[in-house]
């Protein structure tokens, strides 16, 4: 009779995240060879171990088809359902999956949501005319509370929308927020684009710091930012380009716009037009989270913008869009949590360390 083998770490994946989870599993195995074995061992990933069924009345019924008793379960969860962006359904699935794991006596459950919906609603906005605060929810904070209440002990998410994210955390809830910026930087370097004269532009004030860090990673100039005036939420009015002192944008071959989310694409369209008015030759847009609502993908491509995004949100294949894989970033983050050692800040925020790591894991 074979001896019982206990494997502490279990990866579960929804249907849209199977490809990403297979890559994460492979990277975890490769990384463990040099960074240290995971205590309690990692169970081989089986995409059939999580089934999500929809009842006739549209209620969601997940079924964990393997033992998770005493395990640390990582639920890799997309924000899409059948390749369609579904923030409400995907969140409800995440909540119920956690409860299913807890009911099956899992020791801990961590959500791996490269893109977590509702994180832009981090404060009450103000009326553009009166300046009065609107009666709006703080959905970002509420989402985190609901994740904990449903059974999660932690969350791994990529590039949350606002810097003060940790202040919204419930007590005793572990959060890791690796950045896709470093993978974008590596992709740009490998593409050969830096043989041309390139500058980095932020599409708004809020992304200025992020764009400056990317420019530093790439060893190129931070060119400035675009200042937008919103007539009302979702509607962009005038867009003004504010170059850094001493920068003449027309001298550059490419402007690389770094955003965090591409939703309807309105800001980026206006930014593109404003940069073209400054005689910028070509424009590339890079963003970790490509939602692409209201036909944004096609409209942006029609302008001549080159698009780069990641698989933080599963993308339907389009040869005109470059999609960067985040499996290394997510695998290293999981390894650091599971082993209790290793430095996320050194491996995943330093361009030279990350490039060496990617090269090693890709062999």
Which residues are part of the catalytic machinery? Answer: 228
Q: Which helix (H) or strand (E) holds 90?
A: helix 87-103
1 Cβ neighbours under 8 A, 6+ residues apart: none
Q: 245-255 in b/e burial notation, b at 16+ Cβ within 10 A?
A: eeeebeebebb
Name the token pair of 131: 């300046």
Burial 68-100 (b: 16+ CB within 10 A, else e): beebbbbbbbbbbbeeebbbebbbebbbbbbeb
List residues bridging with 324 in a β-sheet: 310
Helix or strand (DSSP H, E) at 179 = none
Burial class of residue 65 in the structure, from the number of CB atoms within 10 Å of its CB (0-12 exposed, 13-18 middle, 19+ buried): exposed
Cα Rg of the chain, angstroms: 21
Give the Cα separation of 343 and 84 in Å (integer).
35
Q: Which two tokens stand for residue 283?
A: 């424009």
Which residues are paired to 11 by β-bridges?
A: 74
Distances (CA, A) of 83 to 214, 217, 311, 320: 30, 32, 12, 18
Q: Tally the residues of the chain.
A: 363
Q: Give me the residue label for tokens 């964990």.
A: 64
What are the phi and psi torsion angles at 351 (to 5°)?
-65, -40
Q: Is residue 196 exposed (0-12), middle (13-18) or buried (19+ Cβ within 10 Å)? A: exposed
């Amino acid at each position: 009779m074979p001896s019982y083998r206990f494997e502490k770490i279990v990866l579960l994946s929804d249907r849209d995240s199977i490809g990403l989870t297979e890559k994460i599993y492979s990277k975890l195995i490769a990384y463990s060879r040099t960074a240290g074995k995971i205590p309690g061992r990692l169970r081989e990933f089986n995409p059939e171990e999580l089934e999500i069924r929809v009842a006739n009345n549209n209620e969601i019924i997940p079924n964990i088809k393997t033992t998770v008793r005493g395990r640390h379960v990582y639920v890799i969860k997309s924000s899409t359902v059948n390749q369609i962006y579904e923030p409400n359904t995907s969140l409800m699935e995440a909540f119920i999956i956690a409860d299913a794991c807890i009911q099956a006596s899992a020791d801990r459950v961590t959500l791996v949501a490269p893109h977590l919906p509702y994180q832009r609603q981090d404060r009450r906005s103000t009326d553009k005319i009166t300046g009065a605060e609107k009666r709006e929810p703080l959905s970002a904070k509420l989402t985190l509370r609901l994740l904990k209440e449903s059974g999660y002990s932690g969350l791994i998410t990529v590039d949350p929308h606002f810097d003060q994210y940790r202040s919204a955390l419930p007590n005793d809830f572990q959060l890791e927020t690796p950045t896709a910026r470093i993978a974008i930087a590596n992709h740009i370097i490998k593409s050969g684009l830096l043989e041309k004269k390139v500058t980095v532009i932020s599409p708004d004030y809020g992304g200025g710091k992020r764009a400056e860090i990317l420019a530093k990673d790439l060893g190129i100039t931070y060119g400035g930012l675009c200042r937008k005036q919103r007539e009302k939420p979702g509607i962009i009015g005038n867009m003004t380009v504010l170059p850094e002192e001493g920068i003449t944008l027309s001298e550059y071959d490419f402007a690389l716009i770094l955003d965090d989310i591409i939703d309807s694409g309105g800001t980026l369209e206006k930014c593109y037009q404003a940069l073209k008015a400054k005689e910028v030759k070509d424009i590339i847009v890079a963003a970790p989270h490509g939602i692409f609502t209201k036909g944004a993908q096609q409209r942006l491509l029609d302008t001549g913008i080159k698009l780069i995004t990641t698989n933080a949100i599963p993308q339907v294949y389009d040869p005109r869009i470059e999609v960067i894989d985040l499996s290394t970033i997510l695998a290293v983050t999981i390894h650091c949590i599971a082993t209790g050692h290793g430095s996320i800040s050194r491996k995943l925020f330093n361009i030279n360390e990350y490039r060496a790591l990617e090269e090693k894991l890709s062999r």
